[in-house]
Amino acid sequence: MPESLTDKVLLLATDEQIAFELLYNRYWEQLYKKAFHRLGNSDDAQDVVQEVFVSLWRNRHKIEVENTLAPYLFTALKYCIISQVYRKAKKGITVPLSIEELERIEVSTEELLEFKELQMIVNNEVANLPDRMREVYRLSRIEHLQVAEIAMRLNLSEQTVKNTLTIALKRLREKLARYSTICLFMI
Amino acid sequence: MKIKNGIQLLHTYLYGKADPEQKARVEKWYESLDDSAEMNEDLAAVKQQLYERTRAELDADSKVVPFYKTAFFRATAAAILVMCMGGMYLLIKSTGTNNTTVEVAPQILQDIAAPAGNKAVLTLADGTTIILDSTATGAFATQGNATVAKLNDGKIAYNAAGTTKPAVVQYNKLSVPRGSRPMQLLLADGTQVWLNVASYITYPTTFTGTERKVEITGEAYFEVAHNKSMPFIVKRNEMEVLVLGTHFNVNTYDDEELFRVTLLEGAVNVSDGSTEPKAIKPGQQATLKPGHVKSIKVLNNIDMDEVMAWKNGWFNFNSLQVTDIMRQIEKWYDVDVHYQGKPGDKHFTGIVSRDNNVSEVLKIMESAGIRFKIEKKNITVLAKQE
């Protein structure tokens, strides 16, 4: 299987062992380093990265992606790391990504505005989608319904739901690309 | 809203309840570390190790039906029951002859705590023994084609690398002595084994050929990875349990009268070589009298909570005599039990957490007038004076 295949193609490839290995090779190091710097040891870092890959692979037929899986993986990693830090903090264990630092951290008005603005931009772009597309996007991203459920609710075929979602995401990405990469994590 | 407490803030964030300001704070904090800092790590080794353990979890996925549901619900149900009762045991019932109760002063002066840790020992093919509790997590041995690793949860896992057959099949043995917590083992084929106290299992480090055969003594619970072309066989003396992929418990202690195979899911065949194998269904238990031919019996309506209590952290006595209960206590608390006079034939029913000191377990029987004396690692059962 050629390495040039996109993440999306690999996700659905029938030779799942090779596809998984290629995706693993593509992302493991960035994920691991991010986890290691935050959790401070190899065991915990490996735990969270394993969790991210396992959840990716278990859900691979349900994930809608444009070409790259990076936003999906890094968002998943963020939640895994933060919940790991949360669990440890409750036991009184401190890691480099420390609760003390969180308690110290301040968000300036500008930062908050920027954050809110980005969210608003995303919301605006979502609102600008055609009705049907917006509804599919909302059910998928906000209500976290499966494609099959969305299809049933809206009386559409599953394929139509998938196609609609793909187009919606593509449109959003194109519109948001000029703002900031952070936006891409929000959709 | 400003949350001062960091833990509380993370809780709000993780449950999706954070407002924009809280979200912004958590995300700024999350990104506040330098991702390009140097790491003193052998990245090639990490890459390999992480790949293998992730792959192992995914492979186990596709072969084994998750067990969580039942285990989770049973444990939760049991925990809730106990909390409701606010105490250690739920129900104490004594039946049988001689029900004259006499007030007795408690005889328990010393107490014995439940096993705090795991004392499991692994014996490699060359006879080397490894104390697993003091072994660091990660891969620690290579056996033929398989790497042996201790996972973060303390589980021992075999991972067969590559598809080439090893020249010689190597066998390892995992032992859990008396006074130890149970041990979890992940075999090279993805089969999961929980080994109870005072038990051991011998198994090949990689599975080749037409069958997957392991031998046990004592008690173990299996979740066998499905593989139609390679049946899984659990052997104990003349008894063989043949399975394709399923969940079942095997109790074969030397000091018990019968071997018991209890099926939770799927189907298994139990044979002793003297008759046709007997097929059992979920909820049934096959018993076999060791050393006797044609002794296999199939029992219906088995109480699964009672059978699986050991794995879920309970003693679950369902109408047992003192001697039956004391045999379980001997293994778990690593004590020797002596009898002064005849213990009688009363039957006791009760559920107690295995984390308790032994005195809490003995209370179930004390309320019926049986007294105990604890001296170091010896417990003497004192028959009631008539």
Residue B332 maps to which CATH number?
A: 3.55.50.30
Closest-CA distance of chain B to residue A90, Å: 7
Do A3 and A95 fall into the same domain?
yes
Number of domains in chain B: 3
Pairs of residues, one from chain A and one from chain B, whose beta carbons lie less than 8 Å apart: 108
Q: Ranked by mean pLDDT, which of B22-26, B72-76, B187-191, B217-221 comes out on top?
A: B217-221
Nearest C-alpha neighbor of A79 from the set A48, A101, A39: A48
Q: Which of residues 12-31 of B touch A (CB under 8 A)?
A: 13-14, 20-21, 23-30
Q: Report d(CA A61, CA A24) in Å as an integer.
A: 17
More confident residue, B53 or B343: B53
Nearest C-alpha neighbor of A70 from the set A23, A15, A37: A23
Structure tokens at B94: 């004594």
More confident residue, B215 or B165: B215
Whether pLDDT at B86 is above 50: no
Do B181 and B295 fall into the same domain?
yes
Do B11 and B136 fall into the same domain?
no
Q: Report d(CA B228, CA B213) in Å as an integer.
A: 14
pLDDT digits (tens, 9 = 90+) for A71-83: 788 888 998 999 8
More confident residue, A29 or A112: A29
More confident residue, A27 or A6: A27
Do B181 and B263 fall into the same domain?
yes
Structure tokens at A157: 């075929």
Do A30 and A83 fall into the same domain?
yes
Percent of chain B with pLDDT over 70: 84
Do A96 and A5 fall into the same domain?
yes
pLDDT digits (tens, 9 = 90+) for A126-146: 888 888 888 888 888 766 677
CATH number, domain containing residue A25: 1.10.1740.10
Confidence of residue A179 (pLDDT cuts 50, 70, 90): low
Do A143 and A132 fall into the same domain?
yes
Strand partners, B287: B260, B297
Confidence of residue B174 (pLDDT cuts 50, 70, 90): very high
Q: Report d(CA A172, CA A64) in Å as an integer.
A: 13
Q: Is residue B359 part of a domain?
A: yes
Q: Report d(CA A49, CA B260) in Å as an integer.
A: 41
Q: Does B55 touch chain A (CB under 8 A)?
A: yes
Q: Tell me the helices (H) and strands (E) count for chain A, helix number first.
A: 10, 0
Q: Is residue B179 part of a domain?
A: yes
Of A65, A85, A105, the residue at which a domain comes to its end is A105
Residue B279 in 3-state DSSP? strand
Residue A98 in 3-state DSSP? coil
Angle between helix B43-63 and helix A16-39 axes, rounded to 10 deg: 120
Residue A39 and residue A96 in contact, taking contact as beta carbons nearer than 8 Å: yes
Q: What is the ipTM of this complex?
A: 0.72
In the chain, the amino acid numbered B22 is Q
Confidence of residue B103 (pLDDT cuts 50, 70, 90): very low
| CA contacts within 13 A on the Cβ side of B80 | 6
Do B245 and B343 fall into the same domain?
no
More confident residue, B14 or B187: B187
For B293-327, letters b (16+ CB in 10 Å) and e give: eebbeeeeebebbbbbbbbbebbbbeebbbeebbb
Do A119 and A54 fall into the same domain?
no
A75, closest residue in chain B (CA to CA): B27
Q: Is residue B67 part of a domain?
A: no
Residue B207 and residue B226 in contact, taking contact as beta carbons nearer than 8 Å: no
| Mean of the per-residue pLDDT values of chain A | 82
Least confident piece of the model among A20-34, A85-99, A119-133, B304-318: A119-133
Number of domains in chain A: 2
Residue B93's pLDDT is: 36
Q: Is residue B170 part of a domain?
A: yes
Do A66 and A126 fall into the same domain?
no
Of A105, A126, A151, the residue at which a domain comes to its end is A105
Residue A24's pLDDT is: 94
Of A86, A105, A124, the residue at which a domain comes to its end is A105
CA distances from B38 to A46, B128, B334 (A): 17, 38, 49
Range of the domain at A154: 106-187
Least confident piece of the model among A11-20, B68-77, B244-253, B351-360: B68-77
Residue B89's pLDDT is: 36
Do A114 and A158 fall into the same domain?
yes
Q: Report d(CA B357, CA B114) in Å as an integer.
A: 5
Whether pLDDT at B285 is above 90: yes
Residue A1's pLDDT is: 59
Do A70 and A157 fall into the same domain?
no
Q: How much is the average pLDDT of B26-47?
A: 86
Q: Is residue B71 part of a domain?
A: no
Residue B169's pLDDT is: 81
Pairing of strands B138-143, B146-150: antiparallel
The full DSSP string for B295-310 is --EEE-S--HHHHHHH
Whether pLDDT at B310 is above 70: yes
Do B151 and B291 fall into the same domain?
yes
Do A67 and A126 fall into the same domain?
no
Whether pLDDT at B50 is above 50: yes
In the chain, the amino acid numbered B293 is V
Do B285 and B362 fall into the same domain?
no
CA distances from A10 to A51, A89, B207, B253 (A): 19, 37, 30, 50
CATH number, domain containing residue B157: 2.60.120.1440
Range of the domain at B31: 1-37
Do A89 and A116 fall into the same domain?
no
A90 interaction partners in chain B (CB closer than 8 Å): 7
Chain centroid offset of residue B27 CA = 41
Q: Which residues contact B38 (CB under 8 A, 6 or more apart)?
A: none
Residue B371's pLDDT is: 87
Whether pLDDT at B282 is above 50: yes
Do A77 and A135 fall into the same domain?
no
pLDDT digits (tens, 9 = 90+) for B187-207: 999 999 999 999 999 999 998
Confidence of residue B263 (pLDDT cuts 50, 70, 90): very high
Do B218 and B249 fall into the same domain?
yes
CATH number, domain containing residue A151: 1.10.10.10
Confidence of residue B305 (pLDDT cuts 50, 70, 90): confident
Do B154 and B272 fall into the same domain?
yes
Do A95 and A135 fall into the same domain?
no
Q: Which of B28, B33, B152 sits opposite A47 (nearest CB)?
A: B152
Of B282, B302, B322, the residue at which a domain comes to its end is B302
Do B193 and B282 fall into the same domain?
yes
A93, closest residue in chain B (CA to CA): B7
User: Are A89 and B4 within 8 A, CB to CB?
Assistant: no
